[in-house]
Each structure stands twice: as structure tokens, then as C-alpha cells.
Structure 1
Amino acid sequence: MEFILYLVLILFLTKIAGDISVRLGQPSVLGKLIIGIILGPAVLGWVNHNEFIYYFSEIGVLLLMFLAGLETDLEQLKKNWKSAFAVAVLGIILPLIGGFGIGELFGLGTTYSLFIGVLLSATSVSITVQVLKDMKKLNSPEGSTILGAAVVDDVLVVVLLAVMISFLGTGEDISIGLLVGKKILFFIGVFLAGIFLVPFLMKSLSKLKVTEPVVSIALVICFVFVYFADWLGMAGIIGAFAAGLAISQTEFKHKVESKIEPIAYAVFVPVFFVSIGLNVSFDGIGNQILFIVALSILAVLSKLLGGALGAKFTGFSSRSSFIIGAGMVSRGEVALIIAATGLQEALLLPEYFTSVIIVIIVTTLIAPPMLKYLIQGELKKSN
């Protein structure tokens, strides 16, 4: 029954930490991330990454992105697609070049340096989504651009990683044409399902004479989209977001949102936030402090400036551009997966794995307060 103790610690302490964080003028998610570091092997060692943490955190991040899709204004998303594409592309180019440069500077070699660049190109907006929701900015032009850019970023980074594995990795060759074809198939599939299948299923199955049929079928649709995304090489969070977006166009949007949000935030989402912190360990990094500091600074600035430039070039004001750039800084679980893949494919040196994980966590910790500060500055200026 160890997992029950873990659950008690996580649910209780994340609420306390979140409250303290808000009272100190920071977003609640920052406190929840920090409590994960404190509970984990880096400090107290009370909670370890096990199967329970893995599955609960997976459900947590999927529900978080599903709710983000439900709350997203589709028209606003369509309106800002050009900005989203520009933010994603420039938000990949700068980290890719910068990461390669840092790797070469520290003598990692061309292959390993290139992988560092690809790793830093990744973005995870699951943490950003929480801040945007707290600040009532999820449906703003900035919020929609961040969400759209995250989808494009995921596709491009996966393709870049596949190219590296194909030419430099230890596994089998990967067909780039097949990989791109799978991405196209995913978007066509979810587009058609969102227009025809989802509304039909929601309306038909809502009439079942059972408890909560609407919520149940909504979750089924969400997890089918997630499985479909994963099967075609996309991040599962993109599938969850697409499912939420599809259901948001039906009459059941508010009912699904009001029922799923309490489940997600009461149990699963706190475990996800803590799981990020559990990845931190300070073992064996004494000789790599300078590398970690340099890479962390580069990781934050390259995404911030790359995203901001993409937004600025497509018509956003300077302040709004930096809000968008800050929203792209967190690498989160997407970069953690890429780091693990790189280690498996011999694209990342084992002795640098812990340092890279710490850099990913640093970007995830810095992003929420940075984003909140910039949004508050914009609100004060508009008032």
C-alpha cells in the first residue's frame, strides 16, 4: 500500500505548497513543482518514481491538455496560425544553433552537440497552460499562439530527432517520408473525426441509461485520440488537446469540462506536477556545474527570444511577443522523453544525462514566474 502513502503526501503537500506560492506572488504550479523536488531523491527521498507515479502523472498531463483543448477558442486559434508557425520555427532554430554551440564549446563532439540542440528545441506547454488558465489568458491571442506553436514544435522536433536517429543513432533506419506521412495522417484523422465522428458519438451515446454517459464517452474519445497520436509518433498531449478541441465544438462542452476538471485537479494533475520534480538528482554533477549553468541560460534565452521574434515578425506588440516567448520556455515532459531516447540511441553521453535533466527542470521552474510577471506587466499597462 506504499502508493496510498505517496498519494496522501502528494495531494496534501501540493495544495499547501501551491497556496504558499500564491501568497508569495508566484503561480501555484511553481510550489507544486518545488514540492516534487523536496519529496524526491534530490532532498528527502520520501517519494520515488515508480509505476504508480508514472501512470497517474501520464493521466494527469493528458487531462490537463484535454481541458486546455476544451477551453480553447478555435476561431482564435485559426486566426493566429501564422504567428504560431513563426514562433515554432524560430523557437527551434535559435535553441538548435545555441545548443550545438554549447556542446562544441564543452568538447562534446559534433553528434552529441547536435543532439543537445535538438533537445533544447523541444517545448512542453502543459505547465504553461496552468499559468495561462490561472491568469485567464488561455483564450487570448497570446495563449492561442502558444498552443498552436506547441503543436507545430512537436511535429518539427520529432522529425529532427528521427533524422538524427536514422543517420547517427544505433537503431534501425527511419524513413523520413513515412514519418512525415504519419504526421499528416494524424492531422487528417483528427480533423475528420472532430467534424463527423465526435459530435455523432457524443450525441448518440449521451442517451445511454447509465451514470455519467457524457463524461465517460468524452474520456473515451480523449484516450482514443491520445493512442492514435502515440501510434503515429506524435506526443500524446497533442492528441488529448485535439480531443478537447473537438468536444468544445459540441453542446456538451461545459458539462464535460465541469465534470472532468474536479477529477483532474483533485488527483491526477498534482501527481504530474510532482513527477517533474522527482526527476531531479544531484548525484555526480560536481564537475558539470558550469555546463549546467551555461546550458540553462541558453535554454531559457533561446526559446524566449526565438518565440518573441516569431511573434513580433507576425504583428504582436513587444510585450505580447515576450509573453509568447516565455510560454515556450518550459521543456517539461516532452524534453524528458527526448533525453531518454537520446540516451538509448547513444546520441547523449550517459555522464551528461543527469545534467541535461536538471536543465530541463530549470526551464520548467523558471517558465511559470516569468510568464506571470510578463502577463501582470501587460495587465498593468492596459489599465
Structure 2
Amino acid sequence: MFGNHRFLYGKGERMTFLGELALILIVTLGVSHFCNRINIPAVVGELLVGVILGPALLGWLRPSAFMHDFSEMGVVLLMYLAGLESDLGLLKKYFKPSVFVAVLGVVMPMVLMPLASLAFGLTQQDSILVGVVFAATSVSISVVVLRDANILSSKEGTTILGAAVVDDILAVLLLSVLSTVMGTGQQVNLSLKFGLELLYFVGLFVAVKWVVPGIMSLSEHLQAPYAVVITALVLGLALAELAELVGLSDVVGAFFAGIAIGQTKYRDEIVTAVEPIGYAVFIPVFFVSIGLNMSFAGIQSDFWFIVVMSLLAIATKLFGAGLGARLAGFSHTSAYLVGCGMVSRGEMALIVAQIGYRSHLLSKDYYSSLILVILITTLVAPFMIQQAVKMQKARPN
């Protein structure tokens, strides 16, 4: 499929997907080195690579089937690894704070973002969809920054991961309800949808407790190279696919697959094998692909809309999620770190915006500006997390 994929990137010149991949890897390698030297989160550099090489500036790279497939694999592997490195005991312990963080982190943007949109002249339908878009959270970027700071398995990191799963479920349900209420021709039976999702989580419990450990134990007896690693990857991809089939995000399935396999004795072997695959190839493509969505078209006419909505998008998650953490008993610095970890909208908001646009829930007039706002929150989030981590380490609980 990929062999025939080509696009123009200069006069008379064409690049295959192999050229695109080589370009992404060499540029992100250099940029990551530079970012680490000057103490900037490397993920910010990778996002900017997408902006610079993409349609917004040079136009050497564009969204494509290759880019979509590789980036999808990248985020699945990223959250799979996050699950592998998560402590199931801590996730259970901080489930209540995670729910507080997720719910208040959804409610605040769902209330304030539509009101601001109405003030800028958007229709009621567009305004409600804006609220749903910015209710979503993507912690894929937060995971990388927290992991680099060695606090992914802390109570703050665990709460952020747990809240992200709840947040994802809430955002999907909100979009489903909106599609049904607005009558877009993509109506769904909500009772059936909720039932399927509940059945999925019941199945996850069974898988984590009995199925996955049993399958992993059997894989040890297979006389094939990397049998254990391949089996673990198959389980991760299968649970990610099942999550999509019931209407959830594939990252939810990948995350819980990682948790399930992380409870077995094969955890270290799988992390050692999967990490290079993810971080050497797929994950850089994922972060670059987010930057490819950047466009400066219409930025002058919508300048104040973009500025106000960006500030509001950051503030609603920061204060909403942070308030949830405070109500759960976290200190000011811990709550601030949790709030910063929930700011990034990333691929989740992009997906919701795209679905809303295709379902005619969002008009094209403000679509590009909203994409820009999503990317601004995604670029700002790593700096906020880095600063919050320094505060946390300076004033530990």
C-alpha cells in the first residue's frame, strides 16, 4: 500500500513514504538532541518538526495514509508502555482522585468554552461542540515528560493516567449524546453503547486477572523467536482494537493491556523489547503528525478568537483538574502538577473535532482556528509540566 504513496515536496521532486520516514527520524533525532541540551522537553521539538516540515511552513510532509497508520501505532505503543510501567495497586488507590480530576476537568471546559464561543458569534451547536472538543484530554505527551522526570509511577502520574482514561470515556459519551440530540444522521443507541462499554470493562477485569497471565504463560513454551514479546504485542493490539469496536479510544485498550501484562513476570523482557520499537520509529512519527495539522490560514481574522480560546482551554483544564485533585486531598503543588498534566488536548481533541466536523456538528468557519488552539495547548503543556515537576521536587509532600 505504502509503495505507491508519493507527494510533491519541491519542484519536480517526489518522495516515497521511505523518504518521509527517513526525514522524520533524522530531523527528530537532531532536534531531540538539541532540546535535551538546552533542557526543553524533546517532545516539543518533535511537535515543532511537524509544524516546520508540514503544510504550515515548508510543505515537505503532509497528512497521509502512511502518516496516519504509523502515528496510530505510535500512540498505541506509547500508552501500552505507560500501562506496562504503571503500578496497578497505585491505580486502584488513586481511582477516586482520578474520577474527581476527570469530572471537574470535563465540566469546566464544557461550561466556559461554549459561553466564550457564543460571545464570539458561534452558533449554539458550534459552541456546544467546542466544549466537547476541549473536554477531551490527551496524556500521550504528558506521559513522555513525566517518564523523563521519573515520576510517571508517582501518585500524581498515576492520577493523571487514571483521569485520562475516565476523561476519554466521558468525551466519547458526550460526543455520542451530542450526535443523537442534534440528529446528524449518525445517531446511536446510547443504551447499547453504554452496555458494550460496560461489557468491555468487565472483560478487561477478567483479562487482567486470568486470561492474559494464562496466555503469557503458554507463550513461554512456544519454540519461536521472541514468542513472549510477539504474544504480548498481539494482546495489546487486540485489546486496542476491541476498545475501538465498542466506541472507546484504542489508547484505552492499549493502556489496560500494558497494565495486565505488567503484572506478569515477563514485564521487564517486554519493556526492553518494545521500547526501542516505539521510541525509535513509531512514536516520533506520532508527535510529528500532530504538528502537521497546524495551519496559519485565517489566523489574522481569527487572532483574538485563537488567543482567548487558547488561554481559556489551558485555564479550564488546569483549574478544573487541579481543583479535582485538591478536593481529593492533594497538596497545592501536587494538584498543580496534575492540572498541568491534563492541559494537553493532542490527538484526542483533534479526533473529536474531526468527527464533529464530518458529522456537520461544527461549521468550517472556525475549524482551522480550533485546530490551531488544540495545537497551542499541546505545545504549551510540556513546558507547564516541566515547571510543575521542578516545583514538586523543590517542595515535596
TM-score, normalized by the shorter chain, greater than 0.5: yes
* Pairing of 1:99-114 with structure 2 (within 5 A): 99-114=113-128
**Distance apart, 1:141 and its partner CA:** 0.2
- 2:304 is the alignment partner of 1:290: yes
- 2:42 is the alignment partner of 1:31: no
**Distance apart, 1:188 and its partner CA:** 0.6
- Secondary structure of the corresponding residue to residue 66 of structure 2: helix
Partner of 2:130: 116
CA contact (8 A) 2:84 2:259 kept: yes
- Secondary structure of the corresponding residue to residue 287 of structure 1: coil
- Within the candidate set 358, 361, 364, 1:347 is matched to 361
Q: Mean alpha-carbon deviation: is it higher for 137-146 or for 153-162? A: 153-162
Q: In structure 2, what residue type is equivalent to 1:28?
A: A
* Pairing of 1:147-186 with structure 2 (within 5 A): 147-186=161-200
Separation in 2 of the partners of 1:12 and 1:378?
34
TM-score, structure 2 as length reference? 0.95
**Distance apart, 1:377 and its partner CA:** 1.6
* Pairing of 1:227-266 with structure 2 (within 5 A): 227-266=241-280
Separation in 1 of the partners of 2:227 and 2:187?
45
Partner of 2:218: 204
Separation in 2 of the partners of 1:322 and 1:148?
16
1:111-164 CA deviation, whole Å, 9 max, x = no partner?
111111111100011111001100001100000000000111111111111111
* Pairing of 1:11-22 with structure 2 (within 5 A): 11-22=25-36
Separation in 2 of the partners of 1:349 and 1:24?
41
Partner of 1:193: 207
Separation in 2 of the partners of 1:96 and 1:21?
35
Q: Percent identity?
A: 46
**Distance apart, 1:169 and its partner CA:** 4.0
- Within the candidate set 46, 64, 68, 1:54 is matched to 68
**Distance apart, 1:381 and its partner CA:** 2.5
CA contact (8 A) 1:277 1:361 kept: yes
- 2:240 is the alignment partner of 1:223: no
Q: In structure 1, what residue type is equivalent to 2:166?
A: V
- 2:283 is the alignment partner of 1:269: yes
- Within the candidate set 77, 92, 102, 1:63 is matched to 77
Partner of 1:374: 388
**Distance apart, 1:285 and its partner CA:** 3.1
1:16-46 CA deviation, whole Å, 9 max, x = no partner?
1112112222111111111111110111111
- 2:351 is the alignment partner of 1:337: yes
Separation in 2 of the partners of 1:178 and 1:289?
42
Gaps of at least 5 residues in structure 1 are none
CA contact (8 A) 1:169 1:345 kept: no
Separation in 2 of the partners of 1:169 and 1:287?
31
CA contact (8 A) 2:186 2:359 kept: no
**Distance apart, 1:171 and its partner CA:** 1.4
- 2:325 is the alignment partner of 1:311: yes
TM-score, structure 1 as length reference? 0.98
Separation in 1 of the partners of 2:60 and 2:269?
38
CA contact (8 A) 1:80 1:141 kept: yes
CA contact (8 A) 2:73 2:282 kept: yes
- 2:18 is the alignment partner of 1:4: yes
Q: In structure 2, what residue type is equivalent to 1:115?
A: L
Separation in 2 of the partners of 1:112 and 1:50?
27
Partner of 1:362: 376
Q: In structure 2, what residue type is equivalent to 1:177?
A: S
**Distance apart, 1:380 and its partner CA:** 2.1
Separation in 2 of the partners of 1:257 and 1:278?
29
Gaps of at least 5 residues in structure 2 are 4-15
Separation in 2 of the partners of 1:169 and 1:374?
43
Q: In structure 2, what residue type is equivalent to 1:207?
A: H
Separation in 2 of the partners of 1:85 and 1:271?
31
More helix by share: 1
Aligned pairs, number: 383
Separation in 1 of the partners of 2:28 and 2:350?
22
- Secondary structure of the corresponding residue to residue 324 of structure 1: helix
Partner of 1:280: 294
- Secondary structure of the corresponding residue to residue 350 of structure 1: coil
Separation in 2 of the partners of 1:374 and 1:355?
28
RMSD: 1.1
Separation in 2 of the partners of 1:337 and 1:165?
15
Separation in 1 of the partners of 2:55 and 2:186?
35
